[in-house]
Amino acid sequence: MIAMESDMALDLTTGEAAYAAERKDLYAMGEMPPLGHLPAQMHAWVLRRERHGEPETALQLEVVDCPKPDSNEVIILVMAAGVNYNGVWACLGQPVSTFDVHKAPYAILGSDAAGIVWAVGDKVKRWKVGDEVVVHCNQDDGDDEDCNGGDPMYSPSQRIWGYETADGSFAQFTRVQSQQLMARPQHLTWEESACYTLTLATAYRMLFGHEPHDLKPGQNVLVWGASGGLGSYAIQLINTAGANAIGVISDESKRDFVMSLGAKGVINRNDFSCWGQLPTVNTAAYDIWLKEARRFGKAIWDITGKGKNVDMVFEHPGEATFPVSSLVCKKGGMVVICAGTTGFNCTFDVRYMWMHQKRLQGSHFAHLKQASAANNLMVERRLDPCMSECFGWDEIPLAHTKMRRNEHKPGNMAVLVQAPVMGLRTFADTIEASREGR
């Protein structure tokens, strides 16, 4: 229902109680504007090029102009957001400064969000003001061959919202393309809804998006970082497909968590010493590395069965683990990689790659159909969001620091934005909590 043109506007959401809200040019965090009213300005955590560095100095609170939608765009009132490693990279300006990509004077980070549709462009048909949504982070211009019959992730215009664009989710309002929206799982809280889309959709494409090596029942997958955001979804998706996950951890305290997700077995990589760049082939150092890497391979066999190498390696640490990944993958198998959180200089013994005809596959987020398929599994309650921690609005830089230092708990991290407290599941709950100032 469109708000009345008055100083005090009455708004209705379908099936919810009416609420009164004043029209203003700027609202405090947690204060609810009239439904559909876009103020002139908003609060946001802002990154500027001259502040590149550690998250707690790079990100600063600022008041900035509120975005307005173009014809195919939507403005979301952000209730909660997710924390991902691309926020750390953006703060540091690594591997490149994102300002060299989007050319904007400042950037609002954040590539996961749950919230309410607050304004729509005149060509948007599938969504209306008041819809509760989650946002996937892939954007493109939609007018080339890859976006029309191909794979939009191959489009030259493909970019990650909240990283390669300047308008992400760490603000009261954010601007997205209408094709980025998906229905919010109504059984989850705002913060649970906000924490999963980037990692879940990335894991989904890695496992199911690269035919003919898409995951099949009965196959075995080695999952690095099994207790993290990507790993926790990989294990659940592998189970959903009727396949077997072998999780790798670096902290024994995370073993029970990974097993509780349904892993067939868990390996602690601290029990081995074959990490880092590959020693020069055919040297004494290489022979020591190979012996230790094969000992790691035997630990996999202890789970899969003697002689059964994994069909797929789910890679994202990069430099520290890639030499082993390329070795333990079976003949004709695939190493699929989406990141390099331990470094970008990946090395491997190419003899094992070509003679055993293994596939090395890069993977980057997901297109809408893949993200939607993954989201439907969450809507149908087949997956757990695995939210580990939720931080307050003022703690967004701290959350990124914890992620950078690998001090965060197993699972996925969320932050509150407009939601005044944790545990809210409906718009009506949020209005009530906002009114009470909780």
Better pLDDT: 408 or 307: 307
Q: DSSP assignment of 291-355, as one string?
A: HHHHHHHHHHHHHH-TT--EEEEEE-S-TTTHHHHHHHEEEEEEEEE---TT-S-----HHHHHH
Contacts of 398 (CB under 8 A, 6+ apart): 55, 56, 391
Reported confidence tier of residue 319, pLDDT bands at 50, 70, 90: very high
Local structure of residue 269 (DSSP, 8 states): G
Do residues 227 and 249 lie in contact, with contact meaning Cβ atoms separated by under 8 Å? yes
Share of the chain above pLDDT 90, in %: 89
Residue 189 reports pLDDT greater than 70 = yes
Nearest to 376 by CA among 175, 198, 200: 200
As to burial, measured by CB atoms within 10 angstroms (0-12 exposed, 13-18 middle, 19+ buried), residue 106 is middle
User: Which domains are delineated in the chain?
Assistant: 41-195+385-437 (3.90.180.10), 200-362 (3.40.50.720)
Q: What is the mean pLDDT of residues 168-187?
A: 97
Do residues 117 and 177 lie in contact, with contact meaning Cβ atoms separated by under 8 Å? no
Residue 8 reports pLDDT greater than 70 = no
